[in-house]
Amino acid sequence: MASDMELRSVAAEAAGMARLTDRRLQGEIDHAMTAIDDYPAVFDAWVQRRIERGHVDVVVRVGAGVPDEVRSAYAEAAIAVCERDVPSRVRGTLEALAARLHPQAFTERHKTAAAERCVRVFHGTDGMSNLVANLPTVIAAGMLDRLTQMGQSVKDARSAGAGGAGAGREDVAGAEEPADTRTMDQLRADILGDLVLGGAPVVDPTYGTDRAGGLGAIRARVQVAVTAETLMGKDENPAEAVGAGLVDAGTARELAGRVSEWDRLFIDPVTRTPVEIDTYRPTASMKKLLMARDQHCRFPGCRRAAIRCELDHTIDHALGGHTHIFNLAHLCQRHHSMKQFTKWEVRQVGGGVLEWTSPLGRLYREDVPIPAVCFTIDTADPPPDAGTGGPPQDDAAPF
């Protein structure tokens, strides 16, 4: 624990100076330490310019599962492979080499690797993100094949439609809907989203009973901030999926139409930071206000969404810290532990602003995140007799 926390603290210190996230920098530190400590011959070959930096990266990553007793043999053979080809073309050869040298049966190695299965999301630009799943190959191949079959069924039905391929069809109101021109890639992506968000998984222990099942009843949670003007169609400014990125106005309005309860957020017109939220439940109001204010983990450089973090007392409750919005902030599990077990210190200086002090004494100011959605002040004068519900009245006589 202490060694891991010390490495986290060092990574956070260096990340602050390099303007990087501490997770990324710690990953680079781990990768560099592995290359130097476990593959000194490969590192020396790079220093001597016999191979490129890209070769080193591939050798280290492919050799992650190679045991100590055959690592030297793997490294020497890998250097010979890398000296003959470019980094982008050696991975397959190195994977075969690692498998041939490994003393453990493939079945056992697969069992260990399968324990690392996971799902990750990488947010991009223009309201798009990449969803990446690390799965057993047979599952991944089966998923792609089934998505392809489903997509082909949609294309076949489209071609067999009354109007033929590329023709539109009428909706209930009689208006012609636009033709479905989605490509196979687009169909696979749409079907995957439908299955994940709308289907009940067969791994659910209660699947197949009269109930929908515990897992099937779970619904996705996405916190979206959108202005009233966008909701009413007065503008097409994007909304914000907090902790993820921008959402187009049309999607935001569609999402808004599906929810039964909204939280009205009041924004400071000068600082553009949330200051109050109205709701009937005081404790929930505090949590929602802080989630709207923080958006993500408040450690410098961390973008873990607030919905995946926990509220932390800046001044420990056991030491007299109050449960108040100006003594609370969202921290992810990683940085909550760093605050507790390392010499990183934090204090709130007002208005939700956090000031972090590193073990070397460097100060990092963590301002309240400014929402990507721009809230503006309505300065227009109201029309005469607005809100009276009756016709305009004549001015009173001057006498």
Rounded CA-CA distance 151/144 in Å is: 10
- Count of CB atoms situated within 10 Å of the CB of 8: 20
Average pLDDT, integer, range 108-132? 88
- Tens of pLDDT, residue by residue over 141-194, are 888 888 888 888 888 888 877 454 444 555 545 556 677 889 999 999 999 998
Under the banding of pLDDT at 50, 70 and 90, the label for residue 231 is confident
Q: What percent of the chain has pLDDT over 90?
A: 31
The answer to whether the Cα torsion of 162, 167, 169, 174 is positive or negative is negative
- Of 294 and 383, which is predicted with more confidence? 294
Mean pLDDT, rounded, of the chain: 80
The pLDDT-based confidence of 266 (bands split at 50, 70, 90) is low
Residue 1 clears pLDDT 50, i.e. is over it: no
pLDDT of residue 204: 57
List the one residue out of 51, 31, 137 whose CA is nearest residue 94.
Answer: 51
Residue 280 identity: Y
* Percentage of the chain lying above the pLDDT 70 cut: 75
| Rounded mean pLDDT, 318-334 | 85
Alpha helices, DSSP H, located in the chain: 2-18, 22-38, 40-47, 53-62, 68-82, 91-101, 106-114, 137-159, 184-198, 228-231, 249-256, 282-294, 333-341
CA distance 227 to 272: 13
Q: How far apart are CA 328 and CA 294, in angstroms?
A: 10
pLDDT at 164: 47
Residue 275 — very low, low, confident or very high, per pLDDT cuts 50/70/90? low
334 or 263, higher pLDDT: 334
Per residue in 53-108, pLDDT (tens digit) is 999 999 999 998 888 899 999 999 999 999 999 998 898 889 888 888 888 876 77
3-state SS class at 356: strand
Rounded Cα–Cα distance for residues 123 and 235 (Å): 25
Is the per-residue pLDDT at 226 higher than 90? no
Give 328-382 pLDDT, tens digit per residue: 999 999 999 999 999 999 999 988 999 999 999 999 999 998 876 666 666 666 6
